[in-house]
Amino acid sequence: MPRNVIAKLFRNGRSQAVRLPKEFRFAGDRVRVRRVAEGVLLEPVISDSAKWFAELDRFKGELFLDKGRNQPKTPRRVVFR
């Protein structure tokens, strides 16, 4: 699948729309839209919870924080005196 493709923006009534190339089409009639640091992310809406969890399981082998957490040490506190 191509990494970068230019898509056409157009107006649909008072909304802005994007015409997705064939290789980027979604199944169904809705997508989830979220703003991320680099722009906007379109994700498929999965209404079947079993299918949703199956999609999550695809990433089981990948580490979420593969470089570890960069967290300071917890300060020592005196709770009772």
The percent of residues in the chain predicted with pLDDT above 70, rounded, is: 91
- Residue 32 lies in domain: 8-57
Q: Is the pTM here over 0.85, yes or no? A: no
Confirm whether 24 is domain-assigned: yes
Domain count, the chain: 1
* Longest CA–CA separation in the chain, Å: 68
Confirm whether 76 is domain-assigned: no
* Residues 10, 22 contacting (CB under 8 angstroms): no
Tokens of 60: 């089981």
pLDDT tens, position by position, 21-59? 998 998 888 999 999 888 999 988 888 888 878 877 887
* Residues 24, 5 contacting (CB under 8 angstroms): yes
Residue 1, pLDDT > 60, answer: no
Confirm whether 73 is domain-assigned: no
Residue 2, pLDDT > 70, answer: no
- pLDDT, the chain, mean: 84
